[in-house]
Amino acid sequence: MSVIDVQEKPPFSLGALWRDKKARAIIMQILAVIGVLLFFGWLVNNTVKNIENLGVSVGFDFLWNTASYDINQTLIDYKATDTHFKAGVVGLLNTLLVAFCGVILATILGFTAGVARLSNNFVLSRLMQVYVEAVRNVPVLLQILLWYGIIIHSFPRVKAAVPLMEGVIVTNRGLFLPQPLPQDGFGWVWIAFFVALIAAYMFRRYAKKVLDATGKQLPVLLASLTLIVVLPVITYYIMGSPLGVSTPELKGFNYVGGFAIKPEFLALWLALSIYTGAFIAEIVRAGILAVSHGQSEAAHALGIRPNLTMRLVVIPQALRVIIPPLISQYLNLTKNSSLAIAIGYMDLVATLGGITLNQSGRALEVMLIILSVYLFISLSISFLMNIYNERVKLVER
């Protein structure tokens, strides 16, 4: 019989654990996290004690006090007798509005300018180069002030304004447009619109299967636009045109009725979009150049038209390079919207961080709210864009 010697494990010791490279790395990370948390805990505790020693109370009860100030642009009903909390919500919605509109316009400008910079047309490519180099090398705050000055001083005054078309008036107090007023039965039009969106999405998936199986290119864009436009229009007329219109009318010193886009919003939207679009243009150009030229040559050899080559071959491969830095530009645009206070656009910083802070004197609480809100918005944008990035990146074998 053979005897098998069984080695006993050495007893546990901190020294052996510290000598293990992987265990030592984990311990160092845990200690670093504990140290950071302790530092911030001490910092907050010390700040609260110092504020209380000055006789200033700490808390968020001020949010339920009466705001007592007006806001010139609101997406929800708001009165000066409402609370600071509601004023903050109005400011937050204004921030989200300019960020959303800015991202859309900046993306369109950036992709257009980025592709145009690679054009064989000498004049077009040089014009885009001038746009990119001129805009991105001037501080965005100066551009916001410039656009605000152009709108205020170059657009006609209310009394001298001439309608561009019926119900559309451009003045230095804003752009006045007709406002649709939905009536009974208009809900069916919305239902038809969403049904058309679902149908367009299903047709797009079907067209992709046909393309993969047979190589036949179906008119996805034309069919989708037809569905999205025609189906709601037919439903609209079937329901008896359940939509009224409020047009702006000059009464006294300003226009009333309709829908008004304030000059502060216009200036901020244009400045942020044009500024961010210049950076996106360079990102798009770099992404397209990162795609091997052989891909385009192969597509041309197969008889694919240049516009389809760019849309179906080059851009899908370039997105893996474009999306990561594009996320940063979206975040920058959202955070740069806080400069709106310079021209009086009532965003989150101007409402809570401006008037509410001055009235309440709660600087610590107000800044914590604003920082937390911007952090949440930024993390949400990053989360959604990273999901999209996962979907478009190349799948490796």
pLDDT at 371: 92
Distance of alpha carbon 301 from alpha carbon 309, whole angstroms: 11
Q: How many CB atoms lie within 10 A of CB 369?
A: 20
Which of 93-107, 216-230, 317-331, 374-388 comes out lowest in average pLDDT?
Answer: 216-230
Flag whether pLDDT at 79 surpasses 80. Answer: yes
347 touches 337 (CB < 8 A): yes
When pLDDT is cut at 50, 70 and 90, the band that residue 10 belongs to is low
Strand pairing partners for 180?
245
Mean pLDDT within 136-165: 88
Higher pLDDT, 147 or 11: 147
Place of tokens 């702006």: 248
Which residue type occupies 390? E
Q: Please give the structure tokens belonging to residue 263.
A: 């000059």
pLDDT of res. 8? 57
What pLDDT does 170 receive?
Answer: 86
- The dihedral through the CA atoms of 310, 316, 318, 323 has a sign that is positive
Ranking 75-89, 94-108, 176-190, 372-386 by mean pLDDT, the lowest is 176-190
Q: What is the pLDDT of residues 98-122, one digit of tens each?
A: 999 999 999 999 999 999 998 888 8
Which tokens go with 144?
């916001």
Mind giving me the DSSP string for 329-387? HHHHHHHHGGGGGGGT---HHHIIIIIIHHHH--HHHHHHHHHHHHHHHHHHHHHHHHH
Number of neighbours of residue 155 by Cβ within 10 angstroms: 18
Task: Calculate the average pLDDT of the chain.
Answer: 86
Structure confidence at residue 1 (pLDDT):
47
Please give the C-alpha separations between residue 223 and each of 146, 193, 202, 350, in angstroms, as whole numbers: 42, 14, 11, 45
| pLDDT given for residue 17 in this prediction | 67
Residue 14 pLDDT level (bands cut at 50, 70, 90): low
Which range among 7-11, 27-31, 313-317, 353-357 shows the weakest confidence by mean pLDDT?
Answer: 7-11
- CA 28 from centre of chain: 38
More confident residue, 35 or 52: 35
Q: Which ranges constitute the DSSP H helices of the chain?
A: 14-19, 21-53, 84-117, 122-136, 140-154, 187-214, 220-238, 263-289, 293-301, 306-308, 315-336, 348-350, 357-360, 363-392
| DSSP letter, residue 263 | H
The pLDDT assigned to 28 comes to 86
Among the listed residues 127, 133, 134, the one whose alpha carbon sits nearest the alpha carbon of residue 112: 127
| Chain center to CA of 127 | 27
Q: Using CA atoms, how far apart are residues 283 and 325, in angstroms rounded to an integer?
A: 7
Distance in Å from the first CA to the final CA of the chain: 53
* 273 pLDDT tier (thresholds 50, 70, 90): very high
d(CA 199, CA 3): 76
> How would residue 302 be classed by pLDDT, with cut points 50, 70 and 90?
confident
DSSP of 196-225, one letter per residue? HHHHHHHHHHHHHHHHHHH-----HHHHHH
The one-character DSSP state at 81 is T
At residue 362, the pLDDT reads 83
Q: What's the average model confidence in pLDDT over 326-353?
A: 92
Structure tokens at 96: 């989200």
Those residues whose C-beta lies under 8 Å from the C-beta of residue 197, and which sit 6 or more positions away, are 228
